[in-house]
A and B are shown apart, each in its own frame.
Chain A
Amino acid sequence: MTQVAHPRISPSWEQHLRYSATAACYLVLVIPAFALFLVVAISIPLVLITAGVFVLAFAVPLTRRLTDLHRRLAGEILGARIESPYRSTEGMGAFSRMASCASDPARWRDFAFLFVSATAGFALAILTIIWLPATIWYLIAPIVTFGNFWYWLLAPISFLIWWFGTPLLLQVLALLSRSLLGPTRAQRLAALESSRTETIDHSAAEVRRIERDLHDGAQARMVSVGMSVGLASELVHRDPKAAADLLAEAGVMTNAALEDLRMVVRGIRPPVLADRGLVGALEALSLDLSLPVTVTADLVGRPPDPVESAAYFAAAECLANVVKHADASQAWVRIAHDGAALWLQIGDDGVGGADATRGTGLAGIIRRLDAFDGRIGIDSPIGGPTVVTMEVPCALS
């Protein structure tokens, strides 16, 4: 998904001072960038005599530290997170990790970024930051030097440039960072491809599961109902008692088949979700749970069906986890939409310690939300409380 940059230009003083502080950060970060650039540039030819290898073993991870910081900064400015583009080096030995880094284009783009940051980035940061001190200087200079009052004419000009130019120049800085540090188009496509494949696999598995549930459950029971009824109609004149027993059995079996069908349908799309939408369905769900759940919602309109379903099942899974593991006395659900994305928060006052890497439930939620570019954050310190936040980009109808 291509992220659109939302410049968060706010007219407040505090915000503008924060912009200047960010620009100052950029300026300070030029120093390590320049140093690292020199170190790496010198080490690369030295790899031939192995000395470079040892230096690079430190310099390359350090570079990543620095560029990660830049990703964070640029992400803050652009209002959209910048994903790390690196290949995973998990579980590799030192040597193969080196080889992997050497052939990873993202590392080379990092190296290029060091150079850009130390040159163009430096110039831009200076240009961004200069206007605030300039304004102050123009204001006090005539007083300090008892001279040139023309400076007071320049003060408002430089103030205006600072006020309106700083956010724009910061945007340029951030975009420059993103062009070198963000995932390339090819990488984004590959990520999309894999998430789509996973979704398709997931849907196929889901269909198989439904088919199996029907086959082993309702279908088998209906077959046995048919048999009992057939047999009963054979016996009805010869042995009415046995026929009545068989019919009673068929009745019980019919109910069990209906129960099975209900379970299957609830697993596909709960009827109450179709009836009442996400908020109503979660209210209905919380009525069935053994602990008090407060549902608060700020939602005008309905998200698209698939998103609604995914969000519902994700929330249901979270609430099921609360009931099973949290040992909580109460839970709450908040639902909102900020114009770009649907937000769901599920919290409880239980014992905490929820972990997405353990258990299949949370992994399943993450996979469901992945299909819609959704994200999930789990905040669950030991001792609680637990808050799970989900965000799914979508429009409301």
Chain B
Amino acid sequence: MRVVLAEDLALLRDGLTRILQAYGYDVVAAADDVDALEEALREMKPDLAIVDVRMPPTFTDEGLRAAIEARRVRPGLPVLVLSQYVEQLYARELLASGDGAVGYLLKDRVADVATFIDAVRTISEGGTVLDPQVVATLLSKAAPLSRLTPREREVLGLMAEGRSNAAIASRLFVTEKAVSKHTNSIFTKLDLPVASDDNRRVRAVLTYLQGQG
């Protein structure tokens, strides 16, 4: 796995590089501004880009824009966007930039190394990973969720974050079979098309939640 990393703070850049290398990822370029990032994306043809939203020179949202642009040039390029703040607006723009293989997480989540690496793996396999904060807002805005039981809402939230059945099961201390029973029930109650693979299912859930927002 060849990774291009873009983060302007040296401390965090080194930390991220160390974590990724410890899990066998090959960090081929670590950029500290947008120009270096764009160049690395062009030259290195990485399998995955991990990008900070705010970067020099203007410290606004150019990291995000660069990520979306990179996916326009190379559809399906797996991108994980990290930020000190999560914004629904940015999550929407990222999700709209093609089918799957995107992630949007708070930088704090990197501290939980196992979960972070899980997210990186999910994204590089074409999945979608959203920060729990984004998902919580989406859930709070979706009106028709009253039909779901509290447990189903919990499962739906974890699904929207992009977790697989296995991950949800271990998180809730239940069997995978129980989880798939919940997910089937959720899909029936919300009139969602049943999809077998995790990635398409997550996208169906997100589309549904955003439609409600």
Contact = CB atoms under 8 A, between A and B. Distances in A.
Contacts of B61: 275-276
Contact of B137 (A266, A272, A283, A288): A288
A271 B85 contact: yes
Interface string B136-166: 0100110000000000000000000000000
A227 interface: no
Interface in A221-266: 251, 254-255, 258, 262, 265-266
A265 B54 CA distance: 15
B196 interface: no
A283 B84 contact: no
B108 interface: yes
Contact of B111 (A255, A265, A271): A255
B20 to A, nearest CB: 20
Given A254-B111, A255-B111, A290-B140, A274 B60 contact: yes
A287 B60 contact: no
B141 A280 contact: no
Nearest to B85: A271
B92 interface: yes
Nearest to B86: A262
Nearest to A266: B85
B108 A255 contact: yes
Interface string B78-112: 00000011011100100000000000000010011
Contacts of A265: 85
A271 B89 contact: no
Interface string A263-302: 0011000011011100010011001111000000000000
A251 B112 CA distance: 9
Contact of B60 (A266, A275, A283): A275
A307 B54 CA distance: 23
Contacts of B89: 272, 276, 280, 283-284, 287
A284 B140 contact: no
A274 B60 CA distance: 6
Interface residues of A, number: 19
A272 B213 CA distance: 19
A290 B84 contact: no
A287 B54 contact: no
B85 A284 contact: no
Nearest to A254: B111
Interface residues of B, number: 17
A71 to B, nearest CB: 45
A288 B88 contact: yes
Nearest to A289: B141
**Max chain A CB contacts within 10 Å: which of B84, B89, B108?**
B89
B86 to A, nearest CB: 9
Contacts of B88: 284, 287-288
Nearest to B213: A287
A50 to B, nearest CB: 70
A262 B213 contact: no
Contacts of A283: 89
Interface string B188-212: 0000000000000000000000000
A290 B139 CA distance: 10
Contacts of B108: 254-255, 258
Contacts of B92: 287
B137 A251 contact: no
Most buried by B among A274, A275, A284, A288: A275
B141 A290 contact: yes
A251 B111 CA distance: 8
A290 B111 CA distance: 30
Contacts of B85: 262, 265-266, 271-272
Contacts of B137: 287-288
Contacts of B54: 271, 275
A272 B89 CA distance: 9
A265 B83 CA distance: 14
Nearest to A257: B108
Contacts of A255: 108, 111
A266 B140 CA distance: 21
B84 to A, nearest CB: 7
A57 B111 CA distance: 76
A330 B123 CA distance: 36
Contact of A271 (B84, B112, B213): B84
A255 B60 CA distance: 23
Contacts of A254: 108, 111
Nearest to B83: A271
A289 B88 CA distance: 10
Nearest to B61: A275
B87 to A, nearest CB: 5
A284 to B, nearest CB: 4
Interface in B111-146: 111-112, 137, 140-141
Given A266-B85, A271-B85, 9 more contacts: A251-B111, A254-B111, A255-B108, A276-B60, A284-B88, A284-B89, A287-B87, A287-B88, A287-B137
In order of increasing CB-CB distance, the 8 nearest A-B pairs are A287-B88, A284-B89, A275-B61, A275-B60, A258-B108, A284-B87, A271-B85, A272-B87
Interface of B: 54, 59-61, 84-85, 87-89, 92, 108, 111-112, 137, 140-141, 213
10 contacts: A254-B108, A258-B84, A258-B108, A262-B84, A271-B85, A272-B85, A272-B89, A274-B59, A288-B88, A290-B141
